[in-house]
Amino acid sequence: MDTEFTNALREGDPVVGNWLSIGHPKVAEINGIVGFDFVLVDTEHTATSLETVEDLVRALEYGSEPRPIVRVGGNDPVEIKRVLDIGVDGVMVPMVETAEEAEAVVAAMRYPPDGIRGVATGRAAGYGSTFEEYVSRANDELLTIVQIETETAVENAAGIAAVDGVDAMFVGPSDLSTSLGVMGDWESETLLDAMSRVVEAGEEAGTAVGSLAVSAADVDRWMGLGFDFLIVGTDTRYLIRGGNELKGAFEDAAGGD
């Protein structure tokens, strides 16, 4: 766990990350070369296994940066526990819609008496060699991030942001825009208003708020709304964008006179 990164995100300092969907350590290593502050390993919408997550975390740790955060498949305390035992810096939980659901996430992230996380001497605790030190720090230093992805979640954003132990809210623009009936329309006033409301809820509670930007225009738009941190692009989109750009350049050159 990296307290410098954790504190920066909690305090609303600008931190930037990348989205990792490809379950290969080499892709994780490349993120370290770029110099992202953190990488989100997605297991909700990928086939990435727990064992693969562990290998990705090892690859990220090799270069010390970026810090690993894992998005789990849902608000499941067993899944959250197993990911934490790998030794990540934080967990993102999708589709949190109420303060009560956020409280359940916090409980799953913490050891008793503050929560319900089971105790084990796994990789996070040095396989037992640093067990007491890890347990003494984990409740305070692990990042708890909940996703705001529905109209209901926006309505309850103030209550979610105020839950003790929620370090950040993360707006999922694809799901939120779909929930609002404007799927994929990043310039929709309906979407922008909803995102602004989440940002305002975070500001009032002192809770950081982030989102995903898949273009330079998105970065400007979301930062203009007041977001504290962003994930800028995804590994798969980088491949598609780069491939299309150079393929197009070749086709233009080959077809020219």
* Active-site position among 14, 34, 35, 45: 45
Neighbours of 245 (CB within 10 A): 10
Distance between CA atoms of residues 91 and 138, nearest Å: 12
Q: What is the length of the chain? A: 257
Distance between CA atoms of residues 145 and 15, nearest Å: 14
Distance between CA atoms of residues 254 and 239, nearest Å: 22
**24 among known catalytic residues:** no
Residues 6 or more apart whose CB falls under 8 angstroms from that of 106 comprise: 115, 144, 163, 164, 165, 166
Pairing of strands 90-93, 67-71: parallel
Pairing of strands 143-148, 90-93: parallel
Contact between residue 1 and residue 141 where contact means Cβ atoms under 8 Å apart: yes
Catalytic residue numbers? 45
